[in-house]
Amino acid sequence: MSEEFIVTTLDYVPGYRVRKILGIVSGSTVRARSIGRDIVAVFRNIAGGEIVEYTELLARSRDEAVKRMIDKAKSVGANAVIGVRLATSNIMSGAAEVVAYGTAAVLERE
Predicted confidence (pLDDT) per residue in 88-100, tens digit: 998 877 788 999 9
**pLDDT tens digits along 1-20:** 456 999 999 999 999 999 99
Q: What percent of the chain has pLDDT over 90?
A: 64
Q: Fold for domain 6-109?
A: Translation Initiation Factor IF3 (3.30.110)
Total-model pTM: 0.83
Query: Rounded to whole angstroms, what are the CA distances from 94 to 35, 54, 55, 106?
Result: 10, 11, 14, 39
Mean pLDDT of 51-76: 92
